[in-house]
Structures are given as structure tokens and as C-alpha cells.
Amino acid sequence: MTSAGVELQNDCVLGIDIGGTKMAAGVVALDGEVLSVVKIPTGGHADAEALWDALADAGDEALRQAGVDRVAGVGCGCAGPMTWPEGVVSPLNIKVWREFPLAARIHEKWPHGPARVHNDAVCVAIAEHWMGAAKGSANALGMVVSTGVGGGLVLAGRVYNGGLGNAGHIGHMVVADDGPECPCGGRGCLEMYAAGPRIVEWAQQRGWSPDEGANADGITLLASAEGGDEVAIAAFRRSGESVGQIIASCAALLDLDVVAIGGGLINAGNLLMQPLLESFDRHAGFRFVRRVQILPASAGQNAGILGAAALVAAGDVYWTQIRTT
Amino acid sequence: MTSAGVELQNDCVLGIDIGGTKMAAGVVALDGEVLSVVKIPTGGHADAEALWDALADAGDEALRQAGVDRVAGVGCGCAGPMTWPEGVVSPLNIKVWREFPLAARIHEKWPHGPARVHNDAVCVAIAEHWMGAAKGSANALGMVVSTGVGGGLVLAGRVYNGGLGNAGHIGHMVVADDGPECPCGGRGCLEMYAAGPRIVEWAQQRGWSPDEGANADGITLLASAEGGDEVAIAAFRRSGESVGQIIASCAALLDLDVVAIGGGLINAGNLLMQPLLESFDRHAGFRFVRRVQILPASAGQNAGILGAAALVAAGDVYWTQIRTT
């Protein structure tokens, strides 16, 4: 390591993004530059410790690639549920981790600074506010429409956590009283209308099927929609309309400046965005509601790492030490 | 005036509550005790100045009744819309005031301290947090179900204003995509399902009518429901169910601790509250959503005055000088 590298190290944080399918670790400079990224699959580990060891190795490798041996702290976004702000996690889709003391283990491993764990969707929203489409706005909703629908809030210029750190669960706002039952235990949740797997199911129930050999997934459904398949087009329309309706509700409740939308489904472009904006337009009345800017997410592929890093790199804005209840 | 009265005066603020039907002014001690209340009708004034003069007289009378000649400041809740935080108001139902510089006039009249104007529903929510059902909670929604449906938010221990001071418009969150058109310009707004005049209309369309000589209003409809009229009962059920659905959405988005519900319709008791809680129960899945306490408002008849007073008396919590956008 060069002496220049040694000087740099206090200007860097380690950002970690843990999802059900893959995990990523990267070194991020305090100005948001991503200096290294290491990705590994989440599955295939025998137990909690094996998964932790793999993650710890990925973090060390990210430090090595960035040429630093020490960081100012570690931020981590993880799939929920979790106990916040303690960072004890039991991710639905990571069965080997139940009540796993993630923040404590991170701090033990990289002790030179704080270890902060928050929900992954909140970290993505933070990334949009720190470096993406919501940059500079005081009141922003960042949301992800993908295999699920999640989100996070920056209100009055700071991340808003809610009483137990769960604020931003926009996917479980209610689209319709008589909507489908949701695995969360509720009914009519946005996620049941808008998420990728749900719109694939909806299309299949109406006769759509993938070409032989192709998977019944969002990518195949999008190809069908782009090829003019009416059921596939209607499936994306239904997703977009439900998201637009809920955004109108959020803007009425929160008098928002910006909504940044990311996630795989925005690859559908106007097949999703046009019905979304039409629905928003139908439901948004007051001028203060209609003024909200609805923008595609722009923090990029490393948004999860960036937002996690921001928990430390811009902790005065994005981290609240003490639970507010 | 006694010398005791003179000593007291710096411990008091003037709270003003301006609605479309009546206005109230009261002197409130810093501990929330209401020392005087003066109420006058809003209507019947020839022009903006005549209405202002009547309000100014009511304020002076409230000071006189409380035995003070000077207050630490004046807080005022007013029907919207308004420019916030400047306090320039154009209340929908007060036609003589258009772009009326209310905060400036208040300050001119009572110059010994700040003059702060906010939306009336926000002030009622503040009253619930300062002295009522939401006292001590960090994350609270206060709402009013009456001739309209309004609300206000206290988040992370402070009032949340939104970018233009309009946060809390829960009455314009969307219950159903294909719901009725709303005067706000949207469609399917909660207010169209839950407000008093709307449920009276709904009942009338289904054959309900008031007894001869009685008004077709919420009070008469409630008497019918209490007498077992099925259409009247269904009208309150529809209101309660729509409110319960929206509360579930708010709790999912904001991870709330308390929702305090006030306004004339809660006089319907279980005719409203039981369907409300059943609907909430149907739509609230996650434990963090279900944990929210749904309580009747308890700040009392003077909630509007109390919340307005709190803009000054507890301004560190309830007032933000600078717009956050």
C-alpha cells in the first residue's frame, strides 16, 4: 500500500448491501465515489456463521481492491425484518440468519468507527437523496418496484425512520379494500398489484404464457408487452396505475417534493410510467399534490452500497442513533 | 388589573382558531391551561377588514377576560389554503379573505412576540400531541372526521410540515381507484367516503330521509342509525371502513405510534369506530403496522385554540421558521 493509500483510508467507508439473492460490499469515498465493488451470492451457506464469513471476506476484498486497510465506519442495508437501530436481523429470504446480531458482528470485524444497519429499501432511498434523483430535495420518497415494492423517506431534510425503523413500507399501503390477501397479513397491498411476480401471475391467469423454454418472469413478460401482447401490456399498466394511485396518496399526506422510482420494473419504460403518471394525474387534485416530481431513480446499480455507505458518510442526515419512541 | 395579572402575562399566549362557520380566540397558559375563550360567527361581515376587526375585538376580549394585557405571542389555526409559513390566507369557505395577510395583521395588532399561522387541522393534531391522546408519542397522526376530513403529523417528535406546509391532508388520500370525483380535482379521496355531508348524501341516494322538519345532516342521520335504520348504519360503516383502510396505509408508510381521531363523526361511537377498527384489522398486516394505537381525540372542545397556542407556547416542537424546500 502506498502512503497515498494510507492517507485516503479515513475518507472512505465500507457499504454493504444484503439481499436474498446476492450480497455486495464496496468502498465508498465521503463524496460518494464508489472505489470498489465485490458481489457474492447469498445462498448456499450451511449456517449463520458460514454466511457471515463469506460476507466478511467480501468486505475485506472490497477494502483490498480499493487499496485501503481501514475505513471510517461501515454502513449496511439488509432485507427485513430487523430490530432497529440495534441491527439484529431475521431476513425473510435468508433463512440461516434468525436474530443474527449483524451490526455487532460488523463492528467486531471492522472496529474503527460506527457500524450502522438499516432496511435495504431505506438505503436505496437514501442513495437517491444523497447522489440520485432526489438530491437537494427536503421531502422525498424513494421507492423500488421489483420482486417486491419497498421504499424509504427523507422528510424535512433527514431520513425518517418511524417508531421502530420501519417507515417507508409503501408496498403495504392499500390500493383497494377488497384486494388480494398479502403475505404480510393485510389485504389489497400495493405489492400485490405492482411487484414483478404478481403481475406475471396476473398475466398467466389471463392466458399469457412465456415462449417455450423461457421463464415465466418479468423479463419475458416485458418482451411480450414490447411485442404487443395485450395481456402483458395490461399487466404493466395495472402495476403502473396502482403505483400512481399510491404516490398521489403519499403526496397528499406528506406534501412531497420528489418521488424517485427504481427497481427492475422501470425497465418497462412507458409501459409502466405512462399509466403510472396517468393514474397519478387522475388522483392528484390540489396544486401542492400535483407539484411533486416523479422521477426515475438515478443513483445507479450500486445504489444499495451507496445508501448503506451514507449511513456513516453522511450520518448527520441519514442516521438517528436513538429510537424516537 | 392586579399586579398578579401583570406578572402572569408573559406566561400566556393568544390562540386563535378560524373556521368557515365560527372563530374562537382564547388565552392559554404555557402549561396548556385555557384561561379564556371568546367565540364569534365567521360570516356576516361585509369585507376583509370588517372580518379582521371582529377577530381583533374577539382577541382583545379574550385577553380582557383572562386579565392580561400582553401575551408572549399569538398562534393561529386557519382553514386553508394558505401560503405557509408566511400566513397569507385564502380560506375556501371565507370568501372575503383572499390573499389576506393574516400573520402580518396579527403581528401588527399584538406585536409583543411572534405571530404564527398554520392550517387548522394541523393545529388540532398539535393539540392532541401537546395535551391530548397523542401526548408523549414521537410519531403521531391527528385527524378530524367532520364536514371534511383533515389531519396533521408529528414525526420524530416534531410537527411535520411538508414542503409547502400542507402535510397531513389525509382526507385526500385515495380509497379506491374508481371512486367519486372530489372537489380537490382528484378522485376517490377519503373525504368523499368519510365526511359527514358525503355520508348523508350516500344515505339519501339509498332512500334514507330525515323525519319531517328535521335537517338532512349528520346529527339526524346518527339518530336514525341509533334507531336501527339500516341505510343510516351502513353510511357510518362506510365512513369508518374507509378511515380504517387509510389509517392502515399511513401506519405502513410512517410506522406510527398513535392515531388520534376527533371531529363530529366520532360522536357516532361504535357505529363508526367498530367498522373502522375491523377495516384496520383487515388491512394491517405487519406487527409494526398493527401496533399503532387508534384513540379518540381527547384535547377537548378547545383543541383548535390549544394547538394554535402551542405554535408559540411550544414552538421548538411545533413550529419551523423556515420552509424546508
Q: Mean pLDDT lowest for which of A127-131, A178-182, A212-216? A: A212-216
Count of other CB atoms within 10 angstroms of residue A244: 26
Count of other CB atoms within 10 angstroms of residue A33: 12
The complex's ipTM?
Answer: 0.95
Pairwise CB contact (< 8 Å): A169 & B255: yes
pLDDT computed for residue A57 by the predictor: 98
* pLDDT at B8 exceeding the cut of 60: no
Contacts of B58-65 spanning 24+ positions with Cβ under 8 A: B58/B23, B58/B24, B58/B25, B59/B14, B59/B16, B59/B25, B59/B109, B59/B110, B61/B25, B62/B14, B62/B25, B62/B26, B62/B27, B62/B36, B62/B37, B62/B38, B63/B14, B63/B27, B63/B36, B65/B27, B65/B35, B65/B36, B65/B38
- Pairing mode of beta strands B12-18, B22-29: antiparallel
Q: Give Cβ neighbours of residue A87 (< 8 Å, ≥ 6 apart).
A: A76, A78, A101, A102, A103, A104, A106, A115, A116, A117
Average pLDDT over residues B77-85: 93
Strand runs (DSSP E) across chain A, as ranges?
12-18, 22-29, 34-41, 74-78, 82-83, 88-89, 100-101, 115-119, 140-145, 149-155, 158-160, 258-262, 293-296
CATH topology agreement for domains B3-120 and B133-296? yes
A279 neighbourhood in chain B, CB within 8 Å? 177
Q: How many helices (H) and strands (E) does chain B have?
A: 12, 13
Pairwise CB contact (< 8 Å): B186 & A157: no
φ and ψ of A15, to 5 deg: -110, 135
A241 neighbourhood in chain B, CB within 8 Å? 177
Q: Among B250, B289, B291, whose Cβ lies nearest the Cβ of A253?
A: B250
> B249 vs chain A: nearest CA distance in angstroms?
4
* pLDDT at B266 exceeding the cut of 50: yes
Strand partners, A322: none
pLDDT computed for residue B209 by the predictor: 96
The distance in angstroms from the start CA to the end CA of chain A is 46
Q: How confident is the model at residue B322 (pLDDT cuts 50, 70, 90)?
A: low
Higher pLDDT, A81 or B48: B48
* Mean predicted lDDT score pLDDT of chain A: 94
User: Rounded distance, CA A195 to CA B250, Å?
Assistant: 20
User: Rounded distance, CA A152 to CA A165, Å?
Assistant: 10
- Under DSSP, the state recorded for A31 is T
A288 neighbourhood in chain B, CB within 8 Å? 162-164, 166
Strand partners, A22: A41
String of DSSP letters for B42-102: S---SSHHHHHHHHHHHHHHHHHHHT-S--S-EEEEE-S-EETTTTEE--TT-TT-SSEEH
pLDDT computed for residue B92 by the predictor: 86
* pLDDT at A127 exceeding the cut of 50: yes
> B179 vs chain A: nearest CA distance in angstroms?
10
Count of other CB atoms within 10 angstroms of residue A31: 8
Query: Crossing angle for the helix pair B230-254 and B270-283, nearest 10 degrees?
Result: 40
How far apart, in Å, are the Cα atoms of A205 and each of A199, A200, A223, A234, A248? 10, 9, 18, 12, 29
* pLDDT at B217 exceeding the cut of 60: yes
- Please state the domain extents for chain B: 3-120, 133-296
> A77 vs chain B: nearest CA distance in angstroms?
18
- What the block records as the C-alpha cell of A171 is 408496498
Average pLDDT over residues A205-209: 97
Average pLDDT over residues A182-197: 97
Pairwise CB contact (< 8 Å): B189 & A253: no
pLDDT computed for residue A13 by the predictor: 97
Helix, strand and coil in chain A, % to nearest 5 = 40, 20, 35
pLDDT computed for residue A10 by the predictor: 66
Write the pLDDT tens digit of every residue in A271-314: 999 999 999 999 999 999 999 999 999 999 999 999 999 999 99
* pLDDT at B321 exceeding the cut of 80: no
Report the amino acid identity of residue A262. Answer: G
Q: Among A255, A256, A283, whose Cβ lies nearest the Cβ of B188?
A: A283
Which of B164, B174, B237, B246 to probe the A interface (max A CBs under 10 A)? B174
Report the amino acid identity of residue B224. Answer: S
Average pLDDT over residues B95-110: 97
Q: Mean pLDDT lowest for which of A6-10, A263-267, B231-235? A: A6-10
Report the amino acid identity of residue B154. Answer: V
- What the block records as the C-alpha cell of B94 is 371565507
pLDDT computed for residue A92 by the predictor: 86
- What the block records as the C-alpha cell of A26 is 464496496
Pairwise CB contact (< 8 Å): A255 & B165: yes
- Pairing mode of beta strands B258-262, B293-296: parallel
Fold of A3-119: Nucleotidyltransferase; domain 5 (3.30.420)
A139 neighbors B164 (Cβ within 8 angstroms): no
Return the CATH superfamily for domain B3-120: ATPase, nucleotide binding domain (3.30.420.40)
φ and ψ of A132, to 5 deg: -120, -140
Pairwise CB contact (< 8 Å): B156 & A161: yes
A135-A140-A141 Cα angle (round to 5):
120
Rg (CA), chain A: 20
- What the block records as the C-alpha cell of B19 is 373556521
User: Rounded distance, CA A307 to CA A75, Å?
Assistant: 8
User: Exposed, middle or buried, B65 (CB in 10 Å: 0-12/13-18/19+)?
Assistant: middle
User: Rounded distance, CA B268 to CA A177, Å?
Assistant: 22
User: Rounded distance, CA B219 to CA B324, Å?
Assistant: 41
- Pairing mode of beta strands A149-155, A140-145: antiparallel
- Under DSSP, the state recorded for A189 is B
- pLDDT above 90: percentage of residues in chain A: 92
Phi-psi region of B81 (alpha: psi -120 to 50; beta: other; left: phi over 0): beta
Q: Give the rounded distance of the alpha carbon of B162 from its chain centre.
A: 17
Write the pLDDT tens digit of every residue in B19-55: 989 999 999 999 999 999 999 999 999 999 999 999 9
Pairwise CB contact (< 8 Å): B167 & A255: yes
User: Rounded distance, CA B187 to CA A205, Å?
Assistant: 29
- pLDDT above 90: percentage of residues in chain B: 92
> B314 vs chain A: nearest CA distance in angstroms?
18
> A68 vs chain B: nearest CA distance in angstroms?
37
* pLDDT at A258 exceeding the cut of 90: yes
Fold of B133-296: Nucleotidyltransferase; domain 5 (3.30.420)
Higher pLDDT, A154 or B5: A154
Pairwise CB contact (< 8 Å): B325 & A189: no
